[in-house]
Every structure is written in C-alpha cells, then in structure tokens.
Structure 1
Amino acid sequence: MDFFAAGSRPSLKANAEYFTGTVWQDVIVEAPAPARVRALRVAFEPGARTAWHTHPLGQTLHVLSGTGLFGLRGAAPRVIRAGDSIWIPPGEEHWHGAGPTTGMVHLAIQEAADGKSADWLEHVSDADYERAPE
C-alpha cells in the first residue's frame, strides 16, 4: 500500500507543450503495473486549455468547480459546469479547459496503454477556442 498525506506531493505546472495558459496538476493516483489507472486534479486559470489530444483507452472527466469548455474536432465547444461528467472514447480528438473569464477544475481519469495515457496533437487555435458554444 502507498499512502500519500494531503499536501505531501507538490502541485505541478502543466507542460506548455501540451497546454495554453496556466494550468496546475495534482496527481491523485499513478498506479503501478499491472494496474493502468491515472487520475489527476487539473486546475485551469481563465482562458487556459489543453492542446488537442486523444487517449488510447479513453478518458473520464468530472468537473469539480467552475465553468469551462469541452471541444471535439469539427464541432462547437460545449459549456461544462461543476457536477458534469464526460466519457471520451478511445481515439476521439478533443480538448478541454476553462472559460475565457472563469477558472475550472476537473478530475481527469484515464488508463495507460504501453505506458502512454495520451497522444498530444497541436495547440487549440484561438478561433476554435473562441467559437460560440453549443
């Protein structure tokens, strides 16, 4: 068993190669093999967002606080709010982040295939981010 007391692991600033704006990540679990689960608490400042990406085994997002946006390739973004949950199937190109003027925090849960839990693509353009939500 591994026990991690609250505050014993530092928050990590998300890699600018995969995120736009200021994003903080707190690891909840990175289970050792043969388990594959990884869960993160991700806090997006207003305007911050992920790059386009996919997950080999899918991803679940659960919004903990704030209001944000979730986008699929070729579609207008959707507004997401505290309490919303989203299942993203394997291989589906998507992005998620805060709204333009509001922060958003979500729990991101995914599994790794061959040690990899995401395939990162290009940054989300301002035009895609600013597209009127559904």
Structure 2
Amino acid sequence: MAMTVKKATPWMWVADECKNSFMEMKWKKVFRYIVFKIDENSKFVTVDKVGGPGASYNDLAASLPNDDCRYAVFDFDFVTVDNCRMSKIFFIAWSPEASRIRAKMLYATSKAGLRRVLDGIHYEVQATDPAEMGFDVIRDRAQ
C-alpha cells in the first residue's frame, strides 16, 4: 500500500497517517495522545507513539525522549465550573536541551507545516524541560 503525504515545508513531508491518527483522536477518541517524529533520512513526519483512551498526561510525558525532539498532541478532557464536559487539544513542541542543534532547527522549521495538517488544535505549548509542559500548565491553559 502506497503512503500518501502532504508537503509541510519545501523540504519536509507529513505522512497521511499523522492526519488520520489525529482525526481518530479528535472525533472518535481512539487515542489520548499522539507523538510525532521526523525521520531525517526520508524527510517525513510520521507517528512515533500513541496512547490509548485510558492513557494519562503522565504517560505522554514519560514517552518523550530526554535527548531528542518530538511533536505531540494531547486531548485534554475536563469539567468546567458549570459542570460541562469539555475537551481541548494541545500541540506540544518538545525540544529538550540535550537534543542535537540540527534536530532543534529541523523541528522548529517544520512545526507550522504539521500544524496546518492537524486541523483543530486549541493551544500550543513549547517545552525544553518537563516543568514547562507540566500537567498544571495544561490545566491552567485549558480553563
């Protein structure tokens, strides 16, 4: 089966599995989070990991490497003060200090292209260490 892609930047492509997985997360609640990575050799953004509907934000944070960049989306469910169930999708640009400079530059320049493909993101968080993307940051941004 051939892989279809969308061009993210003049030098980067987003595999359709990224958009398809995102739509399943957004509409069918199949996933709680999706982690994306860039394959520097093929120049494709692909799905690296997914967390099922029972996965937590801590599971997402633990799945991110300490020494390499990634993108992630997280479906945050919460209840408002009016007792309404809400869901907000967060885009996380993970770029830890220990990652290579080349990777940091590649992820920074390709982020907008992936965001265009993933329609329906409510908030963005950029993090270089776990404290910058802590659960309290997500909760405070959503409410």
Higher helix share: 2
Higher relative contact order, chain-length normalized (CA < 8 Å, sep 6+)? 1
| TM-score normalised by the chain length of structure 2 | 0.30
| TM-score normalised by the chain length of structure 1 | 0.32
